[in-house]
Chains A and B, each alone.
Chain A
Amino acid sequence: MDRIPINRIELQMQSKGENVSFARIAIAALASQLDITLNDLEEIKVATSEAVSNAIIHGYQNKTEYMVKVIGTLYEDELILEIIDEGVGIADIKQAMQPAFTSDPERMGLGFVFMQSFMDKVEVESKTNCGTKVILHKNIGSAGAAKKAVS
Chain B
Amino acid sequence: MTFTLRRKNRTLIIYLTGELDLVKANEFRETVDNTMEEMMAKNLIIDLSSVNFIDSSGLGVILGRFRKISAKEGQVVLVGLNSNVRRILELSGILSFIPVCTDETDAWELFEKNVI
Contact of B60 among A20, A21, A24, A106 (CB under 8 A): A106
User: Which residues of chain B are near A49, meaning CB under 8 Å?
Assistant: 21-22, 53, 55, 57
- Interface hit among A77-85, A108-116, A142-150: A108-116
Do A17 and B60 touch across chains, with their CB atoms under 8 A apart? no
Number of interface residues of B (CB under 8 A): 21
Given contacts A17-B22, A17-B26, A18-B23, whether A50 and B91 have CB atoms under 8 Å apart is no
Number of interface residues of A (CB under 8 A): 25
Do B60 and A117 touch across chains, with their CB atoms under 8 A apart? no
CB distance from B20 to the nearest CB of A (A): 10
Inter-chain CA distance A108–B23, complex, in Å, is 16
Restricting to B56-91, which residues have a CB under 8 Å from any CB of A? 56-57, 59-61, 63-64, 67, 84, 88, 91
- Residue numbers of B with Cβ under 8 A of A are 19, 21-23, 26, 29, 53, 55-57, 59-61, 63-64, 67, 84, 88, 91-92, 94
